[in-house]
Structure 1
Amino acid sequence: MKVSILSTAHVHFEAFASAVKSCAGTELAGIYDDDAHRGKKKAADLQTVFFENIHDALAVCEAVVVCSENAKHEELVLAAIEANKHVLCEKPLAISTVSAERMAKKAVEQDVVLATAFPLRFNTPAMEMKRVIEQKQIGEVLAFHGVNPGQCPKGWFIDKKLSGGGALMDHIVHLADLMRWLTGAEVSKVYAEADSFLVPCITIDDVGHVQLEFNNGIIADIDPSWSRPEGFPTWGGIELRATGTQGSVDLRAYAQKVTQYNNTKTLHHDYGDFEYLYMMNAFVETIGNQQTELANAWDGVAATKIVDAAYQSAKEHEVVTIA
């Protein structure tokens, strides 16, 4: 299956490109980017074709991966769906619930796969946590505590017109989707606080704290802040604790690293499984009507609803109920 990548704007572009090239069921057809200078450079690095026109990129493929700025997801996704292409879209699916629902409904109308990129569903430690929870090894889940710290990604991520929001937009969705996937429960209430004071010279939210209540009574909190300083030795670091009636289980999603250092620099090499490749495999299998753990469009809608509610709550300083 030939896959075109639409935009190279996102920091995870390289991971997606590597997954497309490594997956036995996919072939990289080329790259489209509305920033021609950026796109041509990435295409040259990958020894693939650069398309200046999105319709040319769509004409040579059966599916696409969307790696654009958040605010451009809907435009690119709808163009692909209208061309009858299957889509794997970087998270968040959209910058508003209205936009996310429009995309999901269009995919249903056209009978194509629209998947949301939540690679944690294919992270080996996360899959083990799911097994532990499903087998009731910690009893019934009562609460989650999750953190997704990271460095401020800067660039378009701190331009609200392109990102839709700051740290809350960027980092709530991974853990929120993970909790939904682990339990099958939906978030019913959200309370959040957000502010901008860690990263100099930006006005977008760089810190926050989010509290969730699920429709089965589980409570949870998420720290999505861009709280890692630039000199921190690793990027990101998702952690999650599930507390149950008979114990607890902790997840460190990206702990598999080898650290190399000398007098001038420190390097970290991941040796763990490549969840983007597993996600790409699942994308191919889902298109072939196989059951997978791939997050669909409605999972993306659910995560976007939580983010919308968090921003509303942070603005009003009130609990927000999700219908």
Structure 2
Amino acid sequence: MIRFGVIGVDHRHIYHLIDGLLQAGAQCAGYLASASDAKVLEGVRSRFPQLRGVEDAAVLLEDPSIDLIVTAAIPSQRAGIAVQAMRHGKDVLADKPGVTDRAQLQQVQAAVRETGRRFAICFSERMIVPCVATARRLIAQGAIGDVVQTLGMGPHRLNAAIRPDWFFDISTYGGILVDIASHQIDQFLVLTGSSDAEIVHAAVGHVGHAGHATPPSFQDFGEVALRSRTNAARGYVRVDWFTPEGLPTWGDGRLFITGTEGSIELRKYLDIEGRSGTDHLFLCDRQGTRHIDCRDEPITFFQELVADVRDRTETALSHEHVFKVCSLALDADERARQGAAR
């Protein structure tokens, strides 16, 4: 049985990382019972009362029975935790972003080469969203021909009053394109079948929120345009922190996929004036248009990752893909900053 330990419970994404691994049959050996956000730590305790909290990360790092370290620490700390874990003989699963600057990416890449351990990032807006899995299956079946373009939108609710201080510090969260847009960059590469791409435009901004004193360095809007280096596909990404309070979920995540013979629209988290529930897919092809409820589409990421740890394979995702997404997100961030400086 694969055993995992948790170091870094600073972001709520840790809930689905732990739950996904448990559902996949892995066993949790414990979690480091400290966090920058006490509410998240309490959430782990209440959701997983059967799990053991430990006071020292060394307890988990030095346990030879642990195969995998999982982290949703403060984003700028995730790479350091990953490198330390790999040097202790553990594989790593990190929440996105796994790195927040170029030096961290190089350190993680070097640790992978030196240790032979695996480093994976959960890009949750693809990996745990059933309608994206359905879209991948339909594209593989030729439902819309060759993918020409993806348009991904990742709006989020700010919830400023409950955010920890690091959330607003660009040195710790890494910038909106590194943080949020990594999801859409991942989806662009996967859905277009691209192994490489280039950033042709990137911009970020601080618009500000009425009633919330967010610092000027906090990026609440970002956009990216991509071009595949391996086929003719292009992509556009828009991310922001402007989800209104009236929306009944944290963001109206949407993805449009244009193909040579049809199109797919995903409404991941809600259909704002229509059908109830999540995971709505709208397909338009030569036969007409139709809605597909994707909530029963199997999610296989965690099962595949557990098998990868056990069998030393790269089924869930490859290092090449992980590092390419990270590099492109950093490229976009650097291009946006250069544009802002002109």
By the TM > 0.5 criterion, same fold? yes
Superposition deviation, residue 98 in structure 1:
3.1
Which residue identity lines up with residue 269 of structure 2 in the other structure? Y
Superposition deviation, residue 122 in structure 1:
4.7
Q: In 2, are the aligned partners of 1:168 and 1:225 still within 8 Å (CA)?
A: no
Q: Which moved more, 1:291-300 or 1:97-106?
A: 291-300
Q: Any idea what SS the aligned residue of 2:180 has?
A: helix
**1:160 equivalenced with 2:181 (yes/no):** no
| 1:267 aligned residue | none
Q: In 1, are the aligned partners of 2:93 and 2:122 still within 8 Å (CA)?
A: yes
**1:183 equivalenced with 2:198 (yes/no):** no
**1:241 equivalenced with 2:256 (yes/no):** yes
Cα distance in 1 for partners of 2:135, 2:5 equals: 33
Cα distance in 1 for partners of 2:201, 2:85 equals: 35
Q: Any idea what SS the aligned residue of 1:197 has?
A: coil
Superposition deviation, residue 121 in structure 1:
3.3
| 2:307 aligned residue | 285
What's the RMSD between the two structures over aligned residues? 2.6
1:57 aligned residue (46, 52, 60): 60
Q: In 2, are the aligned partners of 1:151 and 1:227 still within 8 Å (CA)?
A: yes
Q: In 1, are the aligned partners of 2:78 and 2:94 still within 8 Å (CA)?
A: yes
The runs of 5 or more residues in structure 1 that have no matched partner are 260-270, 319-323
Superposition deviation, residue 44 in structure 1:
3.9
Superposition deviation, residue 286 in structure 1:
0.8
Cα distance in 2 for partners of 1:105, 1:273 equals: 40
Which residue identity lines up with residue 193 of structure 2 in the other structure? G
Deviating beyond 6 angstroms after TM superposition, the runs of 4 or more aligned structure 1 residues are none
**Sequence identity (%):** 21
TM-score (norm 2): 0.80
Q: In 2, are the aligned partners of 1:92 and 1:300 still within 8 Å (CA)?
A: no
Q: In 1, are the aligned partners of 2:24 and 2:306 still within 8 Å (CA)?
A: no
1:195 aligned residue (205, 211, 217): 205
The runs of 5 or more residues in structure 2 that have no matched partner are 279-293
Which residue identity lines up with residue 196 of structure 1 in the other structure? H
Superposed, 1:195-214 pairs within 5 Å as 195-199=205-209, 200-202=212-214, 203=216, 204-214=218-228
2:269 aligned residue (254, 260, 274): 254
Q: In 1, are the aligned partners of 2:30 and 2:60 still within 8 Å (CA)?
A: yes
1:103 aligned residue (108, 125, 128): 108
* Deviation readout 1:40-60 (Å, 9 max, x if unpaired): 645643232222211102233
Superposition deviation, residue 254 in structure 1:
3.0
Superposition deviation, residue 240 in structure 1:
1.1
**1:6 equivalenced with 2:7 (yes/no):** yes
Which residue identity lines up with residue 213 of structure 1 in the other structure? R
1:172 aligned residue (181, 185, 195): 181
Superposition deviation, residue 17 in structure 1:
2.3
Change (3 A) 1:233 1:287: same
Q: Any idea what SS the aligned residue of 2:326 has?
A: helix
Q: In 2, are the aligned partners of 1:175 and 1:222 still within 8 Å (CA)?
A: yes
| 1:87 aligned residue | 92
Q: In 1, are the aligned partners of 2:148 and 2:192 still within 8 Å (CA)?
A: no
**1:68 equivalenced with 2:59 (yes/no):** no
Superposition deviation, residue 287 in structure 1:
1.4
Which residue identity lines up with residue 305 of structure 2 in the other structure? F
Q: Any idea what SS the aligned residue of 2:109 has?
A: helix
Superposition deviation, residue 144 in structure 1:
1.3
Bigger relative contact order, structure 1 or 2 (CA pairs below 8 A, ≥6 apart): 1
Change (3 A) 1:37 1:291: closer
Cα distance in 1 for partners of 2:24, 2:223 equals: 37
Change (3 A) 1:49 1:144: same
**1:298 equivalenced with 2:320 (yes/no):** yes
Which residue identity lines up with residue 55 of structure 2 in the other structure? E
Cα distance in 1 for partners of 2:168, 2:319 equals: 25
Q: Which moved more, 1:49-58 or 1:290-299?
A: 290-299
Q: In 1, are the aligned partners of 2:9 and 2:41 still within 8 Å (CA)?
A: no
